[in-house]
A and B are shown apart, each in its own frame.
Chain A
């Protein structure tokens, strides 16, 4: 900390050297270092998550075809539900995994085959990373923003406000989450073309950059359903932090409630919230995929992994590649966020230090 940043205080003993002997790292960079160097699950998770983000960003470059283009009539010899075909493996020895991608010479090359509408599956799976990551991150952001405010207010104000807010959240928790999400989603879909609600939806569509209204309503419903988790977490943190001495200190120098809450308490409640958010992204991706699989979330032609599996689920026995690739994409992505969350939990927990 340089002297310019320090709060102006009346007494400044300039002759005393406060600089620490060893350059100390902050809590966050310490935790990040711990995660990258010592947590095996954190390392694997971080690598998976970063590569998924890379895939999402580079999807237009990596893709071989436009994801929504029906190739019939545009490409010689293309068929619906064509099995995977990579000509580079033609000369490799026969192995089950290699044979899976082998095909007749002259057949158009599609790394993961084509789907029921003769679209390139590989390109769709790549673009699916964009949809799923966006859905996961937006859902959790939305849920945390609301949950954090509710939980912080409940925990800080206490008494009647706390009781009232928590009972309302209890009701949301009383529903099995996916079923409530389904119910909210189908209700939202019916209002999508009506009054103020549709204006709100349109606004969110523009803010989030989503064309697919079904995906947007799915995202909102999953966010609503997961608000209580974050609200409870923040509340419990606030409850224990507000008794701490630094809060009393802040109050004694005359800080306003909002300042105490947002500048003193909440920053200290961040660590468990970040862990919950990372694990929450995994859950949100799973739930979005589940809703889309049921036909409620992403609508055609959006390339969403769950929707891709849902559309072709009856072809499992004849064209398993249509299920395998989107399924692998979901599993790997969700696994990545789960591992990263586990690693973060260990790294951010002071008790786990040196373990």
Chain B
């Protein structure tokens, strides 16, 4: 198993290098003068020469790449010229929101998707099955932003003043107090752990549980429901279809018949014998969906007014803030790479044939 894990990690390294190269190339290898792009009207020969020396743009392109690698490895992703902040700092502030969003969407997608898939497979060709599959087909065809807008309309406008009303925007209600871990631990801003503490402070679910803050938990959950559903619906539909078809195939296998013949209850046959073997393709889909969740976060955060990574990326695009686009693309790609690595390892764990081949 250790050998397999090491192999997977080694295989991921060239891809990581490739990711770094692509993000570098996207910003540097394209024609167009970065100096003009950055300084705008202030760009002239003198300022541009100074600018090029300052950012190392006068050096050969390979050397620039090496410098870029060094910067990234030391945690320097450049400065956002719109916010006047280091991109690393923006990432540390905004990452938590996106992680919580993706995680909640995934929980929704997996729990609802697998339940629907199991029910559909169990009652194959029944009205329930047909209905579920029609909804699954609809589910994969609705753009995230459309679903988000409609959910907001239904739950914030039509169901207003009912117990089902949910807020259409923001991560927390205005004036909601949040206990900062940095304050609790007496960390000052210069402390290297300060950013880490801030990151965990912004994971509101974790924060609420650690501080036993029920009000914060309920409020942040209420703000998370609609975005999680909007983002999770497409993966949910895909997982439902995958679970159904995979389970149907397994239910037709000889060992399922044997299990039934032994006199096991239908429940045990379905959940113990069939589902376990049907899980492998589902796990693959879950892994692949994470990339979609990170992509979809751009749309979801824009609609629901979350200040997460996706929203920052969107703002970066509209204000042509290249450092932000580059930095955030890099961070998201690296997260995606790590998740895929974990899924790969999990895969080897679930199926011994894979890690031994």
Contact = CB atoms under 8 A, between A and B. Distances in A.
A167 B15 contact: yes
Contacts of B26: 183-184, 187
A296 B319 CA distance: 12
Contacts of B303: 313
A310 B302 CA distance: 11
A194 interface: yes
A141 interface: no
Contacts of A66: none
Contact of A335 (B18, B31, B137, B332): B137
Nearest to B318: A295
Contacts of A168: 18
Given A171-B15, A176-B294, A179-B298, A309 B145 contact: yes
B145 A282 contact: no
B146 A309 contact: yes
B152 A316 contact: yes
Given A174-B18, A190-B30, A330 B333 contact: no
Nearest to B168: A317
A171 B24 CA distance: 13
Contacts of A250: none
Interface in B126-152: 137-138, 140-146, 149-150, 152
A294 B318 CA distance: 9
B22 A190 contact: no
A43 to B, nearest CB: 14
B141 A338 contact: yes
A32 interface: no
A320 interface: yes
A162 B314 CA distance: 36
Contacts of A172: 22
Interface stretch (A68-76, A153-161, A237-245, A285-293): A285-293
Main secondary structure of the interface of B (DSSP, over half): helix
Given A174-B15, A174-B336, A290-B144, A320 B153 contact: yes
Contacts of B292: 176-177
B19 A317 contact: no
B145 A177 contact: no
B120 to A, nearest CB: 15
Contacts of A197: 30-31
Nearest to A282: B141
A148 interface: no
Contacts of A320: 153
B165 to A, nearest CB: 13
Interface in B56-109: none
B307 interface: no
A330 B149 CA distance: 14
Contacts of A323: 146, 149-150
Interface of B: 14-15, 18-19, 21-23, 26-27, 30-32, 37, 137-138, 140-146, 149-150, 152-153, 156-157, 291-292, 294-296, 298-299, 302-303, 313-314, 317-318, 320, 325-326, 329, 332-333, 336-337, 340
Given A174-B336, A286-B141, A327-B149, 11 more contacts: A172-B22, A176-B294, A176-B333, A176-B336, A191-B30, A196-B31, A290-B144, A306-B143, A313-B303, A331-B143, A338-B137
| 3 A-B pairs with least C-beta separation | A171-B18, A178-B295, A335-B141
22 contacts: A167-B14, A167-B15, A168-B18, A171-B19, A174-B333, A174-B340, A177-B291, A178-B296, A178-B298, A179-B295, A183-B26, A191-B30, A290-B144, A293-B299, A294-B299, A295-B318, A316-B149, A330-B146, A331-B138, A331-B143, A335-B138, A342-B137
